[in-house]
Structure 1
Amino acid sequence: TIRVWSNATSSSMHEACANAPRKKQHAMHAHSLTLKVDNIGFWAGLGYFYCFACYRLSCGFVYEGPKDILGGFKLDLRCASVSEPFQYEGHEHPLFLALTPEEEKSSICQICQEEGDEYNDWRKLTCIKCSYIICFRCATLPYKARYKHDKHLLVFRKKEEGNDHQGWCDICESEIVYSRKGGFYSCDDYCSTTVHVDCLLGKHPYMRPGQIKHNRLHEVLILHNKTMSRPFCHGKDHRCQDKLVFKKRNMTFCSLYCLNQ
């Protein structure tokens, strides 16, 4: 992490973010993409955007194509950093953007088992040697991640690999259902640590504390959820366990999904 100073403020950012190129050519878009902040185009003034590759909500920098009626093609920095051939640690062969739009809609990600449709247009990478397919949402998850209560790095596993692992999440203490759909993080060094992806990374891992707008009208404050007593979510009758909370007026929500209910 490095610090950046101006006459009025100072801020911190990752070195990779600070050194991100101003312009980028990407295989997913015909035109050059420009690095901007997230208050442009159709989502202007909201303080967040949807990445067109993984459809995650994100705050911060965005690579945007030429503007159209929807504000322009957008990639977050993680998806924009994916280039061909892409070396995914969970697969032995390199991956490529080799599927046609029709093939992307009909194909199924081998991690989350999601198929493209009119509501889900996640981009996908494929292996030209063995037809392995993975969507950008799964491919850009950290393959190894740190958990504060384990001295080792946790490794991402497909749920069908869970036969030899403990079936309970160490964070939320609920069951991890081993099936073909989705994944989890576990310790490879016999610590028996097993956690849900959302419990370790958060429901909105690429949102940051600050202020956004809900439905372009109401201001919402994003805060770290670090209090000893977890607040109640007004969207669901339970305590907010996630890394972030969203405060609207005098109400607290554990996610934007709860806020939109």
Structure 2
Amino acid sequence: MATVVELTSYPVKGCAGVPVSETLLTEAGLRHDRSFMVIGEDGACRTQRRDPRLAVIRPAIDTDGERLTLSAPGEGEVAIDVDTTSARREVKVFDNPYLGIDQGEDVARWLSRTLGAPSRLVRVPPEHHRVTEGWIPGTCGYADSGAVHLVSRASLDGLNQRIAEAGGVALPMSRFRPGIVLGGWHEPHREDRVRRIAIGGVELGFAKHTARCAVPTVDQSRGVKTGPEPLRTLAGYRRGPGGATLFGCQFSVTRTGKLAVGDEVSVIEWDGPPPGE
């Protein structure tokens, strides 16, 4: 029986994750996930692709989402009362235009100093409505493409075995920044074939496989790029249509509710016949 072994919310897009033992799963993903993002002077989101130091910025947000604290090694911390009512401004997640609520000068100065470039923090407005593409469409905040990124531990084990066989060093799951990690499956990439899944009292619908960018090459504990792995190894056996390198899957939320580490997993629908255990 597969179960949830890790839950991680990423309140600020591109910044460190916040492990949780239980949370609320909303239509947009784990509570507070990608509710905020850091932008440059042009309103475009900052990501670890160009700003790997985002990884060492650690958010802490209270349950109701009204107070946010950011901290980073050597930079101290900054705390803000979250603004959900001020004027909206135009922002971009890659080439897609959205709106954001600027969170003020104190956090902007702190982020600019920490990242070494002019930066501001915005929050997704309460009226934000975004339709994400996929086999089962959904919605999300400022995430790249979906509400929930799900990976099985077996998939990472299979990847690390290949890296080790080539003389490399095993990598942690944090390189892939999933929201939900499942344990108990022995076959790598079984999540690729899931189409509908129940976890505890919630349900998810498959949207698409996750195409990997350069972010998995960033050491999440140090905020620096480290070399070609894991993309080099993944490219040898995980190429998708069009040449994209795939690892993990994006899911839409079809039933909201509480989610906890230890929750059991039941696959409602597979792509093809159910796999043998």
TM-score (norm 1): 0.28
**Higher strand proportion:** 2
**Whose Rg is larger?**
1
Higher relative contact order (CA closer than 8 Å, sequence separation 6+): 2
TM-score (norm 2): 0.27
